[in-house]
Amino acid sequence: MLNHLRFADDIVLLTHTPQEAERMVHQLDEVGKKVGLQLNAKKTKVMRNRFADPSAVRLSQTTLEDTDEYVYLGRLINMTNDLKPEIIRRKRAAWAAYNTIKPAVSEIKNQKLRAELFNSTVIPALCYGSETWTLTKAMEAQLKTTQASIERHMVGYTLRRQRCEGLHNSDIRSLSKVTDALEYANHSKHRWAGHVMRRNDGRWSKAVIEWYPRQKKRPLGRPPTRWSDSLSIRYNIVDDRMRCLVHWSTRAQTRHDWKGCYDPQQSNR
């Protein structure tokens, strides 16, 4: 069972009960003290789903604060797996990144150089963590709208001027020459999926993707979109009756074939 995630000193503990969580936090604190590390109780938070016991989790005499969401490794996570708050953060980050390069952009006349600066700062900020995203149509539209707005600003257009001149977003793109954010996100996810599926060292990232809860019944209603659904739509080989002949995870096993099957024009739906 996966019970912890570690990246340097950023640690996540996963448990079934508050009592188990309290025991693990105490053990972590004791081990940390032996090597000169101090666990910060103010920065340590407790997240629990709607089925969890609401009992408090304590570290020494301090009750750890409960929270509905937390930024871990730069990515906002929550127990409902709702990506919308993170998309809002990415939009703000993209504008913040653009504001840092705005003085330079206004001085650069070379289109290629200006586009490269945009692609290396704004696009990564807007699409940070996109390897893990499960995008809906509405979220894709938000990403497109945000990028279009920043692009207009970069090439000296307002939305009103664009409409008055009858220009489409594709016309603005021909002026800016920048990379499409949604294409960048899709390619990042494609590349990451290939890395994960080719691993043979028993990592949890691959185990989670391949896990299927056979002893559980699906709830009523339409199931939520899964991380792998867009990959299935894009890369499964199907027959005339849309029956899967070759699953995307099988194609991903061969690096050369997987790299060659990426098509930026393909839709996620």
At residue 236, the pLDDT reads 94
pLDDT tens digits, one per residue of 153-201: 999 999 999 999 999 999 999 999 999 999 999 999 999 999 999 999 8
At residue 167, the pLDDT reads 96
Q: What pTM, to 2 d.p., does this model score?
A: 0.90
pLDDT, greater one: 199 or 265 = 199
In the predicted model, what is the mean pLDDT of residues 16-21?
96
Report whether 118 contacts 109 (CB < 8 A).
no
State what percent of residues in the chain have pLDDT above 90: 80
**pLDDT score of 216 more than 80:** no
At residue 264, the pLDDT reads 87
At residue 225, the pLDDT reads 87
Determine which of 110-124, 147-161, 215-229 has the lowest per-residue pLDDT on average: 215-229
Quickly count: other Cβ atoms within 10 Å of residue 12's Cβ: 15
At residue 261, the pLDDT reads 92
Dihedrals φ, ψ of 145, to 5°?
A: -65, -45
At residue 210, the pLDDT reads 86
- Going by C-alpha positions, the residue among 262, 260, 253 that lies closest to residue 195 is 253
**pLDDT score of 1 more than 80:** no
- What are the start-end ranges of the H helices in 78-180? 84-107, 111-126, 137-155, 159-164, 169-176
At residue 218, the pLDDT reads 77
Where residue 61 falls among pLDDT bands split at 50, 70, 90?
Answer: confident
- Burial, 196: exposed, middle or buried (Cβ in 10 Å; 0-12, 13-18, 19+)? middle
Where residue 94 falls among pLDDT bands split at 50, 70, 90?
Answer: very high
